[in-house]
Every structure is written in structure tokens, then in C-alpha cells.
Amino acid sequence: MNAPNLISLVRLLAVPLVVWLTLEGHGVWAFWVFVGAGVSDAIDGAIAKRFGLATDLGRYLDPIADKVLLVAVYVTLGSAGAVATWLVMLVVTRDALIVGGAMLSQARGHGVQIQPLLLSKVNTAMQIVLAAALLGELAYGSFAELAAPWVKPVLVWTVAATTTASGIVYLWRWGAAAPEEA
């Protein structure tokens, strides 16, 4: 267990805390724990690359921690009425398709290449930014008070677009890479 993997593990373990804090009305704490978890996503990758600490465990643990964190937070925000149900469904469906596709590929003996696309990295970053903004809104007040009123809709539609596009690209790549079976 090296430092980047430990950071990913801590991010994974922070998920129930963020959910609990949000549901119990401790918005400020939920916001800051989530921001720390979101920042840790960039830190673990930077450390792994900079110091040659990338491992097979980390190639799986990092995206799992990202998906669990984001899906749990979006579902929690949806149940709190802080984000539209359609966006929660879009985020959850995309990640379910990616995980399901990877599992199906592995089960069929084709292996899984854990190589995130640039679009997927942008999507993850945008999902983190929107979730942090929504948690910030729960903690500190409405967008109208905190930022220009157009910021929230722009973030929502950017997440919708990057989530949809990256999901389509992953499905297309897996379809193109799948060998024909008789």
C-alpha cells in the first residue's frame, strides 16, 4: 500500500461520512469533506505519476473510489432535492454501464484496460465541481447569493453533456473492440 493508493482508500472511506453529514444537515462539514475527497483525486494521480508509484491496485482503486464517491453524493443530493432526478439518473446510469461493461468484458475473457479517456477525466472533474457547488449551496446559501445565477445551470448542462458524451464513447469503444462471436 503506497501513498497514492492510501489516498484513494481514504477517499473511498470518506463516502459514508459525506453522505451521513449531508443527510443529517451538517452541510458545512459535508462540503469540506467532499472538497477534500475531490482534491485527493488529483493528488493521488499526481503523486503516482511524479514518483513512479502507479500500481495495478491503484489503476482499479482510484476509479472505483471516484465512482462510489460521485454516485453516492449525487444520489444523496437528489434525495435532498438539491439536484434534478434526471441528472442523478444520468450519472448513475453512465457509471453502471461503465462498470457493467468492464465486468462483462472481464467475464468474457477479454480483459479490462483501465485507461480513462480525457473526456472521462473532464467529466469526473465537472461532476466534482457541480457536486461541490451543490453541497456548498446547501451549506452556505443559494447560488443567487453566492455566484451569478447562470453558474448553476451552466454546470448542470456541462455535467449532462460530458456524462452523456463519455458514456457514449465508452460504449462505442467497447462495441468496436468486442470480437465477433459465432
Residue 159 lies in a domain: yes
| Structural domains of the chain, count | 1
Please state, in angstroms and rounded to a whole number, the distance separating the CA atoms of residues 87 and 95: 12
Task: Report the predicted TM-score, pTM, of the whole model to 2 decimal places.
Answer: 0.89
Please state, in angstroms and rounded to a whole number, the distance separating the CA atoms of residues 96 and 75: 13
Task: Specify the pLDDT at position 128.
Answer: 95
Task: Please compute the mean of the pLDDT values over residues 60-73 and round it to a whole number.
Answer: 94
The grid coordinates listed for 44 are 493521488
Please state, in angstroms and rounded to a whole number, the distance separating the CA atoms of residues 167 and 171: 6
One DSSP character per residue, the chain reads --HHHHHHHHHHHHHHHHHHHHHTT-HHHHHHHHHHHHHHHHHHHHHHHHTT---HHHHHHHHHHHHHHHHHHHHHHHHTTSS-HHHHHHHHHHHHHHHHHHHHHHHTT--------HHHHHHHHHHHHHHHHHHHHHHH--HHHHS-TTHHHHHHHHHHHHHHHHHHHHHHHHHHHSPP--
Please state, in angstroms and rounded to a whole number, the distance separating the CA atoms of residues 114 and 129: 23
User: Contact at 8 Å (CB) between 129 and 155?
Assistant: yes
Q: Domain range spanning residue 165?
A: 3-177
What CATH number is associated with residue 155? 1.20.120.1760
Residue 35 lies in a domain: yes
Residue 132 lies in a domain: yes
Question: Is the per-residue pLDDT at 16 higher than 90?
Answer: yes
Residue 147 lies in a domain: yes
pLDDT, tens digit (0-9, with 9 covering 90-100), for 84-117: 999 999 999 999 988 887 778 777 777 666 677 8
Question: Is the per-residue pLDDT at 163 higher than 70?
Answer: yes
Please state, in angstroms and rounded to a whole number, the distance separating the CA atoms of residues 66 and 131: 12
Residue 182 lies in a domain: no
Residue 128 lies in a domain: yes
Q: What is the CA radius of gyration of the chain?
A: 17
153: amino acid identity, one letter: P
Q: How many other C-beta atoms lie within 10 A of the C-beta of residue 165?
A: 16
Most confident of 112-121, 139-148, 158-167, 169-178: 158-167
Out of 17-21, 71-75, 105-109, pick the least confident. Answer: 105-109
Residue 78 lies in a domain: yes
- % pLDDT > 90, the chain: 68
Task: Please compute the mean of the pLDDT values over residues 145-163 and round it to a whole number.
Answer: 88
Residue 59 lies in a domain: yes
User: Contact at 8 Å (CB) between 166 and 123?
Assistant: yes
Residue 146's pLDDT band (cuts 50, 70, 90): low
